[in-house]
Amino acid sequence: LSHSTLKNLLQNCKSVREQIDTFLTYVQLSEQDVSNRLLMCKDIENALRTTFPESSVHPVGSSVSGLGLRGCDLDLSFHYSASNSNSPAQNIVVTNVDVSSGKVPASDFPYLPLKQQLIFIQKVLKESGITEVTTVVPGRFPILNFSCNDLGCDLSINNRSALQGTRLMQACSKLDYRVAPLFQLVTYWGKHFYLIGGPLKFKSYAIFLMIVYFLQKRYPPILPALQSVLQKIDLNEDKYLFSEGKDTSEVFSPSSNSENLEMLLREFFFFYANFDFTSVICTLDKNVWDGKSFIIKEPTFELNTINVQDPFNLSWNVTTGVDWKHSKSLIKSLLSACEAYHESSDQPITNQNWGLLAILDRSSANYSFARKETVEIKIPLDKTDEISENLIQICDNVFCFLQDCLLFECHPVDSKTIKFQIDKTALINKTIAYNKKYGKLQTFDKFDKTSTAGDVTNILFSHSMYVTVLETWRGRSNYFYQDDIESKQIFVSTEQQISNQILEKCVENSEEKFIFICDCSVISIGKNIFLNIIMRTVNKPVFIPKLRIFLKEYFLKYSRFL
């Protein structure tokens, strides 16, 4: 795959929907690609059968699950029968050199350690002419990495979990048509940002399970709990590795969720940007567990920076092999994608910064937003008499979000209601006195607002409060509720319940709480009326990046209640 070619294709599109269709056409494996991979698998199997007559080689992973990207490696699992082998001498000890030089007979193969078994296979493949250059890569399932006909191959031994995972991936892609393209979009993004593939990075299977959990938590759900999938579909059937797999509509009704790929891709980034990764993702029952509580339930489960339970081996964390660096890079890249979405919606569209181009732009993913002091949210309002008569109520609703929903501590600024009329170059300057107990900054000078529009900006009403942040905003994606709530009263009540649940689990933090000033205005620019919310840090040098992303998305998502 050539990213520059893909970028050129995306720049010529007229909509995000067209970008997604163009992307999928370019990156997906063709039927011929899959057929060639299966033939290559057969050639490798025939080469190994000269030494292991009863062996078999199975293709696994995205190459045969229907979720692969063009150019992805071919994953293979070698299976053999030891029924006719003679037992070797007790406590046999051989060196790697003994194995690679041919001093160890094939009858001893089943009793060698996995690494030496791969060295043995390495010798067989070289002698057969299948490949010249091979490398044994250590891990939970060590693999033999080699190239065959210019295609990278990764071969493991008796990797039944890979077979199960592959069948599960194909079954889920048949449950809903959006699974495969969403996986391909996210995995391409992950590979492009060096998060997926290779030692210490994420495996595609881990990303797949994260996508499954995300789709399970949509409203209505797009995928069911995997427990019901495993109960109703026999994933031991080999047909699940090929295109003639069973039609899952025989046992599962289609989801009533109508969200399109464009929306789901965006929501995936925001969902995990505010996810509490100290929890364990469990796709089996579509739930999350607190890490410490989960260890009591599964004592052999190894916690990591990000935790995803394998639905087949419940004590296995599929992200165990991912190091701290790449885990943190994933979290930062999620934030960067969210910022790209926000900034692309705030700026004029060019052929460089919209749609898929924005989230795939590595040059802008330097997290410069982490140094910003403010959050600015502009929400269009209907220009009606009702709005003009309820300016105070509209601004009060903003503080209802902060105080009643998120349980932040809000205190009115000691200033009178402000009415201004300014042009595009004028500044609003005001000094606000604070109670000394609320932080190091006693005054807040030069709260500057510059009109970004060519039209005159009229500030119809402005109201300010300073806000002390509680931890109720962190990990809010872990809590599920219906997105179709229309009653403000039910919305506020639901949000309060979530906030209280989060507070119950919070550990007392001795650090100084983050404080920001929130200036809420109803403004008119030309013929349009907007609710303009500006939040600026008071006692810290920058606005917390994750909080910045969360607040902007929170207000935009639930703006119907303002």
What mean pLDDT is predicted for residues 430-458?
Answer: 37
Alpha helices for 371-514 (secondary structure H): 385-389, 391-400, 488-505
Q: Which amino acid is at 53?
A: P
Asked if 202 and 322 touch (Cβ cutoff 8 Å), the reply is: yes
Q: Any residues with CB less than 8 A from the CB of 430 and at least 6 apart, and which?
A: 415, 418, 447
Q: Among residues 456, 469, 477, which one has the least CA distance to residue 375? A: 469
- Residue 399 scores a pLDDT above 70: yes
Q: Which amino acid is at 421?
A: Q
Q: Among residues 398, 517, 397, 391, which one has the least CA distance to residue 458? A: 391
For residues 191 and 188, what is the distance between their CA atoms, to the nearest angstrom?
Answer: 5
Diameter over CA atoms, the chain: 93
Tally of CA atoms within 13 A in the half-sphere of 292 that contains its CB: 1
pLDDT tier at 24 (50, 70, 90 boundaries)? very high
Cβ atoms within 10 Å of 501's Cβ, excluding its own? 12
Q: What is the pLDDT of residue 370?
A: 53
**Sign of the torsion formed by the C-alpha atoms of 62, 66, 70 and 71:** positive
For 32-69, the pLDDT digits (tens) are: 888 889 999 999 999 999 999 889 999 998 888 889 99
Cβ atoms within 10 Å of 395's Cβ, excluding its own? 24
Taking the mean position of all CA atoms in its chain, how far away is CA 361? Answer: 17
Q: Which two tokens stand for residue 295?
A: 């260890």
CATH of domain 31-84+91-158: 3.30.460.10
- Residue 19 scores a pLDDT above 60: yes
Q: Which amino acid is at 36?
A: N
For residues 22 and 560, what is the distance between their CA atoms, to the nearest angstrom?
Answer: 33
Domain with CATH 1.10.1410.10 in the chain: 164-243+255-338
For residues 96 and 117, what is the distance between their CA atoms, to the nearest angstrom?
Answer: 10
Question: Which helix (H) or strand (E) covers residue 542, if one does?
Answer: none
Q: Which amino acid is at 424?
A: K
DSSP conformation class of 413:
-
DSSP conformation class of 13:
-
Q: Any residues with CB less than 8 A from the CB of 261 and at least 6 apart, and which?
A: 20, 178, 181, 182, 185
Q: Any residues with CB less than 8 A from the CB of 482 and at least 6 apart, and which?
A: 219
Domain with CATH 3.30.460.10 in the chain: 31-84+91-158
For residues 420 and 448, what is the distance between their CA atoms, to the nearest angstrom?
Answer: 13
Q: What is the pLDDT of residue 516?
A: 92
pLDDT tier at 260 (50, 70, 90 boundaries)? very high
- Residue 417 scores a pLDDT above 50: no
Q: Any residues with CB less than 8 A from the CB of 212 and at least 6 apart, and which?
A: 172, 179, 223, 226, 283
Q: Among residues 248, 176, 164, 254, which one has the least CA distance to residue 215? A: 176
- Residue 390 scores a pLDDT above 80: no
Q: What is the pLDDT of residue 380?
A: 87
Q: What is the pLDDT of residue 418?
A: 35
Asked if 182 and 191 touch (Cβ cutoff 8 Å), the reply is: no
For 227-241, the pLDDT digits (tens) are: 999 988 877 755 544
Looking at per-residue confidence, does 455 or 292 come out higher? 292
Q: What is the pLDDT of residue 350?
A: 61
Highest mean pLDDT among 172-176, 281-285, 379-383, 439-443: 281-285
The architecture in CATH of the region 164-243+255-338 reads: Orthogonal Bundle (1.10)
What mean pLDDT is predicted for residues 99-124?
Answer: 87
